[in-house]
C-alpha cells in the first residue's frame, strides 16, 4: 500500500522475498530499507515502540511524522498489535491481531489519522477499507511493535 502511493509495486512474491516474509510474519528490520530502495526520494526509518500502550509523547511524535509524510505524498506504515475484540470498525477479532496498515491522510480537528486497511474488504464487503482514528489510538495499536516513517 505504501509503495502504490508513489510507484507501481512489484509482485507480491518479489516483495515478500525482499521483506523476508514467511508464515511467521514479516521481518520488521526489512521494511524501511525496502521502502527506501523502492521509493525515489524516500528515506524511511524504523520507530520501535516499547510497552503495551503509547505515551502522549509517542502519540505526538507519530502525529508529527505522519503529517509530514502525508504532506510530501508518502504513507506511514504501522505495525499494529490489536487485542481481541478491539479491531476498529469491526471488533470481531477473537484473538490478538498483528497487522500492517498505512496512514494516508489526516484531519487536524481531533488529530485524526486516516488508516488504509485492505483486510476489512477481503474479510467482508461490509467492512471498511479505511478508518478515521485518533492519533492516540493509532499510537496505542503500534505499541509493542512500531511504525515506519
pTM (two decimals) = 0.91
* Domain assignment of residue 144, yes or no: yes
pLDDT at 1 over 90: no
Residue 141 pLDDT class (50, 70, 90 cuts): very high
Q: Which position has the higher pLDDT, 57 or 88?
A: 57
Which residues touch 59 (CB under 8 Å, ≥6 apart)?
Answer: 135, 136, 138, 139
Closest CA to 100 of 83, 80, 120: 80
* Domain assignment of residue 133, yes or no: yes
- Calculate mean pLDDT across residues 47-61: 95
- Calculate mean pLDDT across residues 60-83: 96
* Domain assignment of residue 39, yes or no: no
Our CA angle for 48, 129, 74, nearest 5°, is 50
Number of domains in the chain: 1
| CATH assignment of the domain containing 75 | 3.90.70
pLDDT in tens, 81-138: 998 888 887 767 889 988 899 999 999 999 999 999 877 666 667 777 888 999 999 9
* Domain assignment of residue 3, yes or no: no
* Domain assignment of residue 117, yes or no: yes
* Domain assignment of residue 12, yes or no: no
* Domain assignment of residue 33, yes or no: no
Structural domain including 139 reads 45-148
* Domain assignment of residue 30, yes or no: no
pLDDT in tens, 20-38: 999 988 989 999 999 999 9
Amino acid at each position: 500500500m505504501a509503495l502504490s502511493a508513489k510507484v507501481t509495486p512489484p509482485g507480491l512474491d518479489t516483495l515478500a522475498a525482499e521483506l523476508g516474509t514467511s508464515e511467521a510474519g514479516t521481518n520488521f528490520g526489512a521494511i524501511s530499507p525496502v521502502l527506501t530502495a523502492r521509493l525515489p526520494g524516500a528515506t524511511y526509518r524504523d520507530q520501535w515502540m516499547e510497552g503495551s500502550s503509547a505515551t502522549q509523547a509517542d502519540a505526538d511524535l507519530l502525529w508529527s511524522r505522519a503529517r509530514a509524510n502525508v504532506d510530501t505524498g508518502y504513507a506511514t506504515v504501522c505495525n499494529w498489535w490489536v487485542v481481541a475484540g478491539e479491531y476498529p470498525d469491526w471488533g470481531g477479532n477473537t484473538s490478538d491481531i498483528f497487522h500492517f496498515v498505512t496512514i494516508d491522510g489526516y484531519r487536524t480537528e481531533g488529530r485524526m489519522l486516516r488508516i488504509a486497511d485492505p483486510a476489512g474488504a477481503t474479510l467482508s464487503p461490509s467492512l471498511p477499507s479505511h478508518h478515521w482514528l485518533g492519533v492516540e489510538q493509532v499510537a496505542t495499536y503500534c505499541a509493542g511493535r512500531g511504525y515506519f516513517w
